[in-house]
Amino acid sequence: MSDSNAPRRPQPPLMDALGKLCAEGKQLADYLWQVPKDEAARQKIIAILDQIAAEGAKQGRKEMPRICEELKTAAKASASPQQVDLLVSGFDRLMNLWQAAKSGLL
């Protein structure tokens, strides 16, 4: 028998196109820790950020395009640990915003 008062385990929201883009960008940013001068990965991150900004604007999320612009500037900068850290934390912010919106908090 199930207890209706039992605490529910939090489940991540189902991935839509925006969530998949955020997750893919985060994986690429994490990859840059290992290969910081991979120009192809940087170009792919910029393309993903363009897609996230467009999809976020379509969904009425004003903060996502702004964050994407900041991250594109970082992706175009010379490779450094600080720059990679900025990209990783920026994609974390995008993932958190996406999850909050999907869960109904935003």
Q: Give the pLDDT confidence of 47-94 residue by residue, as tens digits.
A: 999 999 999 999 888 999 999 999 999 999 888 889 999 999 999 999
Question: At what angle are helices 63-76 and 81-103 packed, to 10 degrees?
Answer: 160
Q: What is the CATH number of domain 17-103?
A: 1.20.120
Q: Identify the band that residue 3 occupies on the pLDDT scale cut at 50, 70 and 90.
A: low
Q: What is the mean pLDDT of residues 21-48?
A: 94
Q: What is the mean pLDDT of residues 23-51?
A: 94
pLDDT the model gives residue 27: 96
